[in-house]
Amino acid sequence: MNTATCPQFKKLVVLLVKPTTYDDRGYPLRFRRGVLPSNSLAAMYSLTREVVRDASLDVEKAEVHVFDDAVWNQRVRDPEAIVRAYADEDTCVVVGLVGVQTNQFPRAVHLAEQFKAAGASVVMGGFHVSGSISSLYDGISAGDPHRKDIPCPGIMPPEVTDLTESGIIVCHGEAETVWVEILADILDGSPKSLYRGGQPDIGDAPVPEYPPNYFDDFATQIFTFDTGRGCPFTCKFCSIINVQGRTMRHRNPHSIAEMVKMYCERDGQASFFMTDDNFARNPHWEVLLDGLIDLQNEGHDFGFMIEADLASYRIKNFIPKLAQAGCTQVFLGMESVNQAALNAVGKKQNQVKHYKRLCEDLHALGIAVHVGYIIGFPTDTKESIITDIETIKETGVDQASFFILTPLPGSEDHVRAFASGEWMDPDFNLYDSFHAVMEHPNMTRPELRATLFKCFAEFYRSRHMIEALKRTPTDAFWGLFRNFLWYRNSALGEGTHPMMAGFWSVRSRNDIRPGWQEGLFRYAWREFVFRLRYTGHLFREFYIFQHVYFESRGKSELAQQVTQRIEKARGWWAYIFRRPSRNWLNTFWVKYGKQKWKLLWKPTWHFRMLPYALAEVVYTFYFGIVLLKNLATMTIR
């Protein structure tokens, strides 16, 4: 079926696909259980449901189906078979590749080609095509009088031209006002190659909504939505401001409150992530928070996290109202503790001297601090980066996401590098801020990436996690604990950035990046080695987090669950049941291990070891039960 020339249809089927990226072996990056849902997918799902009910679409029936390609059970298995399952002479099949970021672009192109070859009409949107067109073709300075010095090559990005020439429709900007036009044109058989959505008013736009059963394949259930779009600042590495603009736009705050209320009444308890690039600059933040405070006062049980800038503490009543409204965590774009580096990338609103005060203000009201931190500034060295990690821990940061400075298409950094002819890696799949794509003056690209992994290992040490959990309110303890599990598992176990990772990665040998191949023996061997190493990682992490749990929370919880008789016990039993801590066990095992070959002629050490081994069994059994109980209802709060 060729939908470009097809007659009037009776049925419309829209397939919304959120593509994944390829891992370093060329396989689509997928997990048995996802963690972070796709807000773009939710926004397009709710928008499409509203659009297909629009009378201007002359069809008798419409269906919307969703595929999250990063989650194993929701992946795109066979594009041809999917289209064939819906297509007939009376049905128009439209595939929307939504929210495509630069590192997902190669996978999106591959899927687009397959869906197109199967006879579907294909539309692609997202930050890569929108950012590239805005910076390379339109020009950043064209719509921003404060940034007139940014060069504009005035060319349509070659990869976008390739898409349109192959019959794939491109949507630049946001879809709220053009999606119905795109679908109507496809149904009419006369679609354009490029649609301009721009930066529309979203006051009455439908709030993002996830399809039924979407979270069945996730380790978490956290609903996402944007209350507003845009950011007034001019960070040179940011592409968002050149796609969503620097003028703040916002949704109706009352509709947000109604949505939160609906989820609470439906599920009893709910968690939310407001994905605004800068919630603090939403002109109606106070009205929105007041609405959430009213819901809290009515007894609704929910928590949420937001993103804000480092200068937000200056906004009167902002932090106190966040706490009253149920905010449990704030994500801050800290980026660096080097003021000169911040100034050089246009992030002057970040004042390093105020970092500690902001963390203290948030902690005082029970709000955890999660920061985004960039490495790879021109003055960075391997040694200075690790020193800076200790600094941010001392500042009071609870959780950190580390990124390599990357010239993302759509950013000022990218267009300047492009215009000057500076070398950038041509493989868009690497533009995930987890790979080095430019040369660095003080480190090789492999060294820079290795340093990124070291940042995760150094920051998420037991001592720091214990300190962070001790200052965390009781009702938010497990939320932060699970975040620590997720982050260490992603970076140190899966070797993937936490914001791209879920739990238990899965690969299929028959689904690999075009032009890549891996023989059966090599595939099987690498899978075996990976699973063996990963099993060791899980074993190690279990005991690391057992220690973290007992040192930060275990005492009070365990004491409530033992009998009165055991609570009055003395000696070794008291250590286990009255003072649950791994320190005394760790101290013994260190002494035991130091004996080395002496153990052969000092058998008394083996007898001394037996009660400690029994203590390990008790601790393992108890912590295993606690862990399973709390992971069964895992939410990020």
Per mean pLDDT, which range of 6-20, 439-453, 604-618 is the poorest?
A: 604-618
Instruction: Give the closest residue to 338 by CA, choosing from 436, 268, 408, 405.
Output: 405
3-class SS at 278?
coil
Q: How far is CA 272 from CA 195, 372, 422, in A?
A: 32, 19, 41
Q: Evaluate whether 411 touches 381 at the Cβ level (below 8 Å).
A: no
Instruction: Collect all residues with Cβ–Cβ distance below 8 Å to 55 and sequence separation of at least 6.
Output: none
What CA–CA distance (Å, rounded) separates 272 from 635? 9
Domains 11-198 and 220-472+480-501 share a fold: no
Joined together, the tokens standing for residue 214 give 């979407």
**pLDDT band at residue 6 under the 50/70/90 scheme:** very low
pLDDT higher than 90, residue 138: yes
Distance CA 184, CA 178 (A): 10
Q: How far apart are CA 23 and CA 491, in angstroms?
A: 13
Residue 557, pLDDT above cutoff 90? no
Domain ranges of the chain: 11-198, 220-472+480-501, 532-631
The predicted pLDDT at position 577 comes to: 55
How high is the pLDDT of residue 637? 46
Q: Are strands 61-68 and 169-173 parallel, antiparallel or unpaired?
A: unpaired
Q: Cα dihedral sign for 53, 116, 218, 220? A: negative
Reduced 3-state DSSP string for 237-273: CCCHHHHCCCCCEECCHHHHHHHHHHHHHHHCEEEEE
Task: Kindly give, in sequence order, each residue whose CB lies less than 8 Å from that of residue 35, ignoring residues fewer than 6 positions away.
Answer: 218, 219, 220, 486, 498, 501, 502, 503, 636
Q: Which residues in 405-471 belong to E strands, given as ranges?
A: none
Question: Token pair of 48, please?
Answer: 């499409």
Say whether 64 sits in a helix, a strand or coil. strand
**Topology adopted by domain 220-472+480-501:** TIM Barrel (3.20.20)
Tell me how far apart the alpha carbons of residues 360 and 350 are, in angstroms, rounded to a whole number. Answer: 16
Percent of the chain with pLDDT over 70: 93
Largest CA distance in the chain: 90
Q: Is the pLDDT score of 321 beyond 80?
A: yes
Give me the chain's average pLDDT, please.
Answer: 89
Interval 420-472: pLDDT, tens: 999 999 999 999 999 999 999 999 999 999 999 999 999 999 999 999 999 99
Determine the 3-state secondary structure of 468 from DSSP: helix
Arithmetic mean of pLDDT, 5-23: 86
Residues 6+ apart with CB under 8 A from 424: 407, 414, 417, 418, 437, 438
Closest by Cα among 246, 215, 217, 301 to 32: 217
Q: What is the mean pLDDT of residues 547-565?
A: 60
Give the CATH number of domain 11-198: 3.40.50.280
Distances (CA, A) of 373 to 36, 241, 397, 414, 452: 19, 19, 11, 19, 10
The reported pLDDT for the residue numbered 626 is 86
Nearest to 349, CA basis, from 288, 406, 403, 281? 281
**In the numeric block, which tokens belong to residue 278?**
């800068």
The answer to whether 480 touches 468, Cβ cutoff 8 Å, is yes
* Residue 604 pLDDT greater than 60, yes or no: yes
Instruction: Report the 10 Å Cβ neighbour count for 293.
Output: 17
- Residues of 469-493 as b/e, b for ≥16 C-beta within 10 angstroms? beebeeebbbbbbbbbbbbbbbbeb
Residue 90 has pLDDT above 70, yes or no: yes
Q: DSSP secondary-structure letter at 99? A: S
* pLDDT tens profile 150-193: 999 999 999 999 999 999 999 999 999 999 999 999 999 999 99
Q: What is the mean pLDDT of residues 58-79?
A: 93
Mean of pLDDT values over 535-542: 94
Pair 105, 131: CB distance under 8 Å: no
> Contact at 8 Å (CB) between 354 and 384?
no
User: Which of 289, 318, 634, 286 minimizes the C-alpha distance to 483?
Assistant: 634
Half-sphere exposure of residue 511, counting CA atoms within 13 Å on the CB side? 22
pLDDT at residue 507, rounded to an integer: 95
Q: In Å, what is the CA distance from 196 to each residue of 43, 192, 200, 238, 502? A: 18, 10, 10, 21, 34
70-88 in b/e burial notation, b at 16+ Cβ within 10 A? bbbebbbeebeebbeebbe
Q: Is the pTM of this model over 0.85?
A: yes
Categorize the per-residue pLDDT at 234 as very low, low, confident or very high, splitting at 50, 70 and 90: confident
Q: How confident is the model at residue 55 (pLDDT cuts 50, 70, 90)?
A: low
**Residue 540 reports pLDDT greater than 70:** yes
